[in-house]
Amino acid sequence: MTLSRQASPAQQVPDRKATSAIARYLDRCHAAVRSLWIGGVLIALIVGFSIGSPYFLTRANWLNTSSTATEVLLLAVGETFVICSGGIDLSVGAVLGFSGTAGAWVMAHGFAGAAGTAPLAISVGFLVTLLAGGAFGALNGFLVTRAFVPPFVVTLGTLGIATGLGYLLNNGQEISAIPASVATIGNANLGGWIPVPVAVTAAITIWYALVLSKTRFGAYTLSIGDSREAVVRAGINDRRHLFKVYLLSGFLAGVAGILVMARLGAGSPASGSTDNLNAIAAVVIGGASLFGGRGTIIGSVIGTGIIAVLITGLVLINVPPFWQEVAVGAVLILAVYIDQLRGRRRHRA
């Protein structure tokens, strides 16, 4: 007994070291691999659609696809933080629509007819749009952290509230009496290839990718989603942090509201109605866990890319547009299924 106890560590250590080194390597690759295989799906879709349609790899389709992607991506960035924190924000698309409509309403009614006020009208209108988004984010955050209503219920409620208020602003009609230069900015291209909304979205996305992965804010977000108990015991103010996460999500929905308004040249209450689920799907396809604690912005970017490419690509290969949502839904389920398989294998090992 004594002998075997003394002998066994010496025999086991090299073995264990070798296997654990491999396991460690695999673990470190895990997140990267997840992004990679999802990235592979995106590339496969691009290749497939390029073969299927001569119009897919064109400047016109790039401008169209990237514009489609911007609003979903902005919402997905905020949604990534919310989902990583263990919550969900169902209201982002509705908040996008409401905030853009509110901004347009202020531009149309506060500055109607007065010549030369366009810069002021635009500034105030954009500010109102951001404030409207932030206000809904703050409302969500307040209800989740102070009233202890589950995030799903809170944001389902604000989804309805924001949708209804958006329609109430102009009897359900879009508001197009805004300065023409808004649409000029929104449809301008940098070098002919980079629409202004795409550039804005790219800058914001890179910034928040760094925030999530490199800063204390991101670390708290992931840790809260992983184990609320651990975070509370570590003396972190979990409720204050979660409030900020929902505020961020609402604020980015406001930014998306500005970009959509600028693209359409009008404030449209219905403009974000399909973006809710697309944003959540993009985040989940990108590898974030709906139970919290895991997720990356780069994953959400790829997830958004898959959705945007499906939406524009299917049209180009003459598939009826209603199939878009079918395809996005199927990809969502498939991505989570594959992720579950991998997780199960990992836990068994």
Partner 1 sequence: MSVRLAVRDMSKHYGGIEALRGVSLQVDAGEVLGLVGDNGAGKSTLLKILAGVIAPTAGEILIDGEPAQFANPAAAQAAGVATVYQDLALAGQRDVVANFFMGREVISRGWLGRRTGWLDTKVMSEHTVSELARLRTRIPDVHAASMDLSGGQRQALAIARAAAWTSRVLLLDEPTSALGVEQQQQVLDLIRRVRDDGIAVLFISHQMPDVLAVCDRAVVLRLGCVASTLGAGQLTADNLVGYITGAKTAADDTGAEAEPGPDTRPSPDTRPGPDA
- Which tokens hold the place of 188? 């301008």
Q: Are strands 194-195 and 189-190 parallel, antiparallel or unpaired?
A: antiparallel
Nearer to partner 1, 181 or 227 (CB): 227
CB of 103 to partner 1, least distance (A): 28
Q: Is 28 in the site for partner 1 (CB under 8 A)?
A: yes
Range in contact with partner 1 (rule: CB under 8 A) among 188-196, 209-217, 244-252, 256-264 = 209-217
DSSP track, 256-307: HHHHHHHHHTSB-TTTTTTHHHHHHHHHHHTT--TTSS---HHHHHHHHHHH
Nearer to partner 1, 236 or 327 (CB): 236
Range in contact with partner 1 (rule: CB under 8 A) among 98-106, 196-204, 215-223, 321-329 = 215-223
Amino acid at 200: V
End-to-end Cα separation, the chain, in angstroms: 29
Answer for the pair 185, 260: CB distance below 8 angstroms, yes or no.
Answer: no
Which residues, numbered 121-160, are part of the site for partner 1 (CB under 8 A)?
none
The helix (H) or strand (E) run that includes residue 194 is strand 194-195
CB of 291 to partner 1, least distance (A): 9
DSSP state letter for 189? E
DSSP state letter for 53? -
Nearer to partner 1, 147 or 349 (CB): 349
Q: Is 340 in the site for partner 1 (CB under 8 A)?
A: no
Length of the chain: 349
Residue partners of 180: CB distance under 8 A and separation at least 6: 265
Beta-ladder partners of 267: 175
- Which tokens hold the place of 8? 């066994």
Nearer to partner 1, 241 or 263 (CB): 241
Q: Is 185 in the site for partner 1 (CB under 8 A)?
A: no
- Which tokens hold the place of 29? 């690759």
CB of 207 to partner 1, least distance (A): 10
Question: CB-hemisphere CA count at 13 Å for 105?
Answer: 21
Distance of CA 148 to the CA centre of its chain: 24
- Which tokens hold the place of 144? 């989740």
Nearer to partner 1, 1 or 180 (CB): 1
Nearest to 314 by CA among 115, 131, 65, 89: 65
Range in contact with partner 1 (rule: CB under 8 A) among 19-27, 92-100, 129-137, 320-328 = 19-27
Q: Is 15 in the site for partner 1 (CB under 8 A)?
A: no
> How far is residue 323's CA from residue 272's CA, in Å, rounded to a whole number?
19
Selected binder of partner 1 within 7, 18, 22, 23 (CB under 8 A): 23
CB of 229 to partner 1, least distance (A): 6
Q: Is 293 in the site for partner 1 (CB under 8 A)?
A: yes
Determine the size of the site formed for partner 1 (CB under 8 A).
Answer: 26
CB of 74 to partner 1, least distance (A): 20
Nearer to partner 1, 248 or 307 (CB): 248
CB of 215 to partner 1, least distance (A): 4
Distance of CA 93 to the CA centre of its chain: 10
Selected binder of partner 1 within 11, 19, 22, 27 (CB under 8 A): 27
Which residues, numbered 216-245, are part of the site for partner 1 (CB under 8 A)?
216-217, 219, 222-223, 226-227, 229-231, 233-236
Per-residue binding string, partner 1, 52-91, x by CB under 8 A, is: ----------------------------------------
Residues of the shown chain interacting with partner 1 in the complex, contacts defined by CB under 8 A: 17, 20, 23-24, 27-28, 211, 214-217, 219, 222-223, 226-227, 229-231, 233-236, 289, 293-294
